[in-house]
Amino acid sequence: MKIGVFICHCGENISSTVDCPRVAKICESYPGVEYSVDYKYMCSDPGQNLIREAIQLYKLDAIVIGSCSPHMHERTFRNAAFSAGINPFMVEIANLREHCSWVHDDIESSTLKAIELVRMAIEKVKRDKPLSKINVPVTKRVLVIGGGIAGIQAALDVANAGYEVVLVEKEPSIGGHMSQLSETFPTLDCSQCILTPRMVEVHQHPKIKLLTYSEVVKVEGFIGNFKVTIKKKARHINEDLCSGCGMCISKCPIKKKAYNSFEEDLAFRSAVYIPFSQAIPNIPVIDETVCTYFQTGKCGMCLKVCDRGAINFDQKDTVMVADIGAIIVATGYKLYDIERKSADLKYKGYGEYGYGKYRDVIDGLQFERIASASGPTSGEMKRPSDGKEPKKIVFIQCVGSRDDSKGISYCSKICCMYTAKQAMLYRHKVHDGEAYVFYMDIRAGGKMYEEFVRRAIEEDKVKYIRGRVSRIYEENGKYIVKGEDTIAGMPVEIDADMVVLATAMIPQDNAPALARTIGIPYDKYGFFNESHPKLKPVESTTAGVFLAGACQSPKDIPESVAMASAAACKTIILLSSDTLEREPVVAKVNEDLCAGCFYCQKVCPFGAVEVKDVKDINGIVYKEVAFINQGVCQGCGTCTATCLSKSIELSGFNNEEIFAEIAAL
């Protein structure tokens, strides 16, 4: 075998601490090495040419590149090798940058280490075998989880490209948080007005199958070939018969037993209800927990008044399985609960602000409902306690955000903007009212964002006070907000009629559970992780699963939509070919030696290991062995490490190759 060694300087990234010419020179003398050279930028066009020419000139069989991490350029060098006529898997990379030059500073010892690393790669490449790519078929159907603006946008984009979409939403209607908003920054256009047409489009799109009041319970399979189990919860309404007339809702005698969560608990709803008037689909749901029929077996008023016979108390949850090629997760966010009834035990909350105790201390989404023309006050500024118009209102930013001691460390990013918006909306509605904002910093990066905040300050006379609020308490019907103006360096006290807390954006409660169901990683807060923070922001680390919207990190609407379209585009690329090429780095069981303990099956995170019967000449099963589905296997190597009898080999990383690398040290 003839091996070529190519040592890259990576500009000065490697060569400043590793003597690259010396590494190349020494490697020349190693057995098997036919040619060895160093060069400033191996990945550049001339660098790749150098490799190609050397392969042809010296008739090389395999090459070793000493360069940056294989994450960076393995593919580049494999392609270069392939175009010069050698199998792309006869290429090994010694990571001289992340594993050597970047982490050491002594030239002599890092050069010696670089030599060792290259030698290990040489020993491995000697044992490498040519591999060929694996082709797997692709199911041309996309699952979108979550029907907020991100999910809606992604579903529409994919469907408009001609592919089938299954959109799963856990609530009875799509729309997500955007449907609750009044007007939106930075243009102050009405949220419902821009959202509703898209919701309708989703509903009517021939390529979109909409499953509301449904949840994903199981995801099996792999990129291009997922099998997804979806549970559709019983609405107790026959969707095919219901015309959405709302008769049942108006006649339901249970009016004040359940809070309306769409109205952020500022209003009640009946036992049979539609979350909001523009809901898609316009089909009610019966809430078993408060419905008299479900509680006592009596009533049945809705049954009597529905002239289409759509009420069905006996309806059961149904489960369906869908074949899916790619998944877009768009499950959005929720607000930091403070001390609300479903208080998040994880965070300690802000008891000193009196949220939950004073009815006029509300959160941002509650304000959106009060400001919304379709909300509980029909858009009039009325405070929850007594319906009076608040003449003095205080907004407090960063409640929960940027607070290591009581909340979360990150910046929720949108609160500065929505607070400015809300203060502005307040001033537009209450001309003689005063609006104060307590802030830590104003973060208004974005097109027309800074201008928007300035407008609130300059045109709408919103008074911004830099500093934190220490306490809020009630006195003579006023809420005394005690804080500190850190610019003036003095304490401030405002007697407000209403207080709005800009609470942090956190992931949905079920996000970690869903992540485990799908098999994607999440961060310590519960936001889903992207594959690369810069270069792969919409891909999850699981092939075929993409992310969109606020489920990945706090985002406003434009960002959520952009991310959704990007994720849609990635899935469309995926579905555009009939088969998928997979790296041939997969595990394979030696059936003669496998003891059939199936520990590999237990540990495989992708469910790639199956049971195979081995029969003798008479057709009698004499043992069961593990069998790895090469389409499912992701080459993680967990089984290889677990197998006690070393009966599994990972192609490209087999025992012999790894052993040779270690032995070369």
Ligand X SMILES: Cc1cc2nc3c(=O)[nH]c(=O)nc-3n(C[C@H](O)[C@H](O)[C@H](O)COP(=O)(O)OP(=O)(O)OC[C@H]3O[C@@H](n4cnc5c(N)ncnc54)[C@H](O)[C@@H]3O)c2cc1C
Nearer to ligand SF4, 112 or 131 (CB): 131
Per partner kind, with CB cut-offs from 5 to 8 A, the member of ligand X, ligand SF4, other proteins, none near residue 421 is ligand X
Q: Which of 365, 465, 575, 639 binds ligand X (CB under 6 A)?
A: 365
Our finding on whether 609 is near ligand SF4 (CB under 6 A) is yes
* Interaction pattern, residues 165-194, with ligand X; x per rule: CB under 6 A: ---xxxx----xxx--x--xx---------
Structure tokens at 385: 């306690």
**Four-residue CA torsion sign, 239, 240, 245, 248:** negative
Whether 609 and 661 have beta carbons less than 8 Å apart is answered as: no
Contact call for residues 606 and 621 (beta carbons, < 8 A)? no
> Could you say which of other proteins, ligand SF4, ligand X, none residue 592 binds, taking C-beta under 5 to 8 angstroms by partner kind?
other proteins
Among 458, 493, 592, 617, binds other proteins (CB under 8 A): 592
Q: How far is the CB of 512 from other proteins (least distance, A)?
A: 9
Site stretch for other proteins (CB under 8 A), options 152-160, 187-195, 483-491, 619-627? 619-627
**Per-residue tokens: 556:** 């406003």
- What is the torsional sign of CA 72, 77, 83, 88? negative
User: What are the backbone angles phi and psi of residue 54, rounded to the nearest 5°?
Assistant: -65, -40
Check residue 465 and report its DSSP letter: E
286 in Cβ contact with 172 (< 8 Å): no
CA 347 to CA 555: how far, in whole Å? Answer: 21
The site partner of 660 among ligand X, ligand SF4, other proteins, none (C-beta below 5 to 8 Å per kind) is other proteins
CA–CA gap between residue 481 and residue 463 (Å, rounded): 14
**CB of 5 or CB of 643, closer to ligand SF4:** 643
- Shortest separation between residue 624's beta carbon and ligand SF4, angstroms: 8
Q: 259 phi and psi, to 5 degrees?
A: -75, 150
- Name which of 520 and 563 has its Cβ closer to other proteins: 520
> What whole-number distance in Å separates Cα of residue 494 and Cα of residue 427?
17
Q: Which of residues 562-601 bind ligand SF4 (CB under 6 A)?
A: 587, 589, 594-600
- Residue 223 within binding range of ligand SF4, rule CB under 6 A: no
Minimum gap (Å) between residue 596 Cβ and other proteins: 6
Minimum separation from the CB atom of position 368 to ligand X (A): 5
Name the residue nearer to ligand X (CB basis): 35 or 262.
262
Contacts 24+ apart (CB under 8 A), 516-520: 517/216, 517/217, 517/218, 517/219, 518/216, 518/219, 518/327, 518/329, 518/542, 518/545, 519/219, 519/545, 519/605, 519/606, 520/329, 520/545, 520/547
Tell me which of ligand X, ligand SF4, other proteins, none is bound by residue 636, counting a contact when its beta carbon lies within the kind-specific cut-off of 5 to 8 angstroms: ligand SF4
Q: Looking at residues 538 to 567 of the shown chain, list those that interact with ligand X (rule: CB under 6 A).
A: 549-550, 555-558, 560
The token pair at 142 is: 């996309």
Residue recorded with tokens 């559709």 = 232
Interacting positions 392-431 with ligand X (CB under 6 A): 414, 418, 421
Q: Is 16 in the site for other proteins (CB under 8 A)?
A: no
645 near ligand SF4, judged by CB under 6 A: yes
Distance, in Å, from the CA atom of 382 to the CA atom of 404, rounded to the nearest integer, reads 34
Q: Name the minimum Å distance from CB 620 to other proteins.
A: 5
Exposed, middle or buried, 4 (CB in 10 Å: 0-12/13-18/19+)?
buried
Q: Rule CB under 6 A: choose which of 90, 138, 399, 608 binds ligand SF4.
A: 608
Contact 419, 395 (CB under 8 A): yes
Which one of ligand SF4, other proteins, ligand X, none interacts with residue 635, CB within 5 to 8 A by kind? ligand SF4
Residue 500 as a binder of ligand SF4 (CB under 6 A): the answer is no
Least distance in Å: CB of 447 to ligand SF4?
A: 44
With CB under 6 A as the rule, give the number of residues binding ligand SF4. Answer: 29
Burial class (CB in 10 A: 0-12, 13-18, 19+), 475: exposed
DSSP sequence for 92-143: EEEE-IIIIITT---HHHHHHHHHHHHHHHHHHHHH------EEEE---EEE
User: Which two tokens mark 311?
Assistant: 């009420």
Closer Cβ to ligand X, 185 or 527, answer by number: 185
Q: By C-alpha distance, which of 433, 448, 357 is closest to 395?
A: 433
> Residue 247 phi/psi, 5° resolution?
-60, -45
Tell me: does residue 619 bind other proteins (CB under 8 A): yes
Contact by Cβ (8 Å): 408, 506: yes
Tokens 């190519």 sit on residue: 6
- Minimum distance, C-beta of residue 582 to ligand SF4, in the bound complex (Å): 11
Residue 458 touches which member of ligand SF4, other proteins, ligand X, none, C-beta under 5-8 Å by kind: none
Instruction: Answer with the entry of ligand X, ligand SF4, other proteins, none that 619 interacts with (C-beta below 5 to 8 A by kind).
Output: other proteins
Coil, strand or helix at 503? strand
Among 1, 492, 603, 664, binds other proteins (CB under 8 A): 603
- What six digits make up the tokens of 536? 């792969």
Question: Which residue's CB is nearer to ligand X, number 363 or number 403?
Answer: 363
Site for ligand X, rule CB under 6 A = 145-151, 168-171, 176-178, 181, 184-185, 215, 330-333, 335, 364-365, 368, 414, 418, 421, 508, 510, 514, 549-550, 555-558, 560
Site for ligand SF4, rule CB under 6 A = 587, 589, 594-600, 604, 606, 608-609, 625-626, 628, 633-639, 642-643, 645, 647-648, 650
Site for other proteins, rule CB under 8 A = 592-599, 602-603, 616, 618-622, 624, 642, 644-647, 655-656, 659-660, 663
